Chain A
């Protein structure tokens, strides 16, 4: 009997757990550890943040799903892993602290044969003083709870606009090293759409504030695609949308601190400026969860197992190298720890070897460039590949992982909402292949021009709605779930 412990029940961890349970015999145990009792389809938090959906529409309780599938669920937060075992047991284990109302604060040690770290990001609001909804001066859409707060705040702004008061809304990222610019883009245009629908757009100024070097970078270094006989770029395409919708932008910016109604930022050229606002939705930078690694003798080996940003080191090439020497092969494909062959890191929890966008610093040394996104479809594919590798290791005695899911060998389909509504909504439907540019395979642009594409329209909104229902259906492990791709 083998026990596989999955830390985290987001897209990557949940996908891994369901596939493990589907493929492993009943004599083996699959345990999921998550501090949250619910599963959240995070891409739809954007619609919660503008009041188009409520939190019940983007979440469901995990426990009944795991009970139905025969997966053991611990509502708890992992605090330490002991990959070499401990002084009392040779079996590796993970220390958890329960978070459910009945067992709040209770500690437990869970032994494992295989461990998947899918703990996602720690929302590092603390990186920028004044950032975030908890004690700060900005709202967020990172969680459904945050998104509900954002929707209430947006309602207040719309009320003020209706009273004839001019308002400035700042939407973007709250630190120079943030990722998920696509989510900030989506929220910007959903808010813009809602203001038009409310008939108050003329009194509102919307400012997109980002660490991107150019609009359309999205943390993936931008995209090029063939359109109407020309090679065009996501920069031109995105700038066109900003101009059409009258959204101003401040790019190459690092937010230094935020006070009530005003923020202070620095740009790549060294300029420091202040911006006042009435409403600000700024995403936080991510770092790995606070997870300690402990050797058998009790010594702390966190810095060997995890990168300095808290993400798990896997089979990537972490050698520091200049942008010109970046290779697709730097990126991991099996997500196995180089130190422990039974420990894996997937989704946001794995440490990327380097960014995808070109890294840049201001004259004062402030890093102002996006971190690489690794959410959605890539996260699901990683979770599935690692699950299938572990199944082969358990059932067939494979000594090394048998399945690969490199971001340099997979594409991504992304639908960025630009306004909700069955007949008036729009969204940008984008595909790119591969996610990480490979200039050896695709000289010049790094990606396939025929398989990288983008278009804006109502069809994209329908697609995003379809994906919302399809992926919640799949995550609930309803009949036929495994036929729905990641």
Chain B
């Protein structure tokens, strides 16, 4: 499982010269979504789906 602990810049690294975090309002994935990203059975199914999608793209582009 992916540890989702790096959600904020570490403190004390002298970041004051940086502009505000541009992505601060972006939606965060739920823990379930993060878990599914490395869940082997689920990803095996997704691998099939991604392969089919890419193959369709390749075939269309080789027209």
Contacts and interface: CB of A to CB of B under 8 A. Distances in A.
Given A166-B10, A275-B17, A412-B57, A457 B23 contact: no
A202 interface: yes
Contacts of B27: 236, 240
B54 A463 contact: yes
A276 interface: yes
Nearest to B60: A411
A429 interface: yes
B62 A451 contact: no
A457 B40 CA distance: 10
Given A250-B19, A413-B54, A431-B53, A456 B37 contact: yes
A462 interface: yes
B40 A410 contact: no
Contact of B28 (A203, A243, A423, A431): A243
Nearest to B47: A459
Where chain B touches its partner, the secondary structure class is loop
Interface string A375-416: 001000100000000000000000000000000011111000
A431 B22 contact: no
Size class of the B contact interface (CB-based, 8 Å): 35 or more
A243 B62 contact: no
Interface in B15-63: 15, 17-19, 21-29, 34, 36-40, 43-44, 46-47, 49-51, 53-54, 56-63
Interface residues of A, number: 53
Contacts, number: 139
A251 interface: yes
A203 B13 CA distance: 8
A275 B14 CA distance: 10
Contacts of B17: 273-276
Contacts of A122: none
Most B Cβ at <10 Å: residue of A203, A377, A458, A460? A458
B61 to A, nearest CB: 4
A248 B3 contact: no
A205 interface: yes
Most B Cβ at <10 Å: residue of A248, A412, A426? A248
Contacts of A196: 3, 6
Interface string A243-280: 11110111100000000000000000000011110000
Contacts of A455: 46, 50
B9 to A, nearest CB: 6
A460 B5 CA distance: 22
A426 B63 CA distance: 31
A431 B9 CA distance: 31
Given A215-B23, A240-B28, A246 B43 contact: no
A409 B62 CA distance: 10
Contacts of A203: 10
A245 B46 CA distance: 22
A244 B14 contact: no
A283 to B, nearest CB: 20
B54 A459 contact: no
Most A Cβ at <10 Å: residue of B43, B50, B62? B50
A386 to B, nearest CB: 14
Contact of B54 (A168, A246, A250, A429): A429
List the 10 shortest-distance A-B pairs measured between CB atoms, nearest first: A239-B26, A246-B6, A239-B23, A459-B47, A459-B46, A410-B61, A458-B43, A413-B54, A205-B13, A242-B23
Interface of B: 2-10, 12-15, 17-19, 21-29, 34, 36-40, 43-44, 46-47, 49-51, 53-54, 56-63
7 contacts: A201-B5, A205-B9, A215-B23, A245-B6, A426-B2, A429-B53, A463-B51
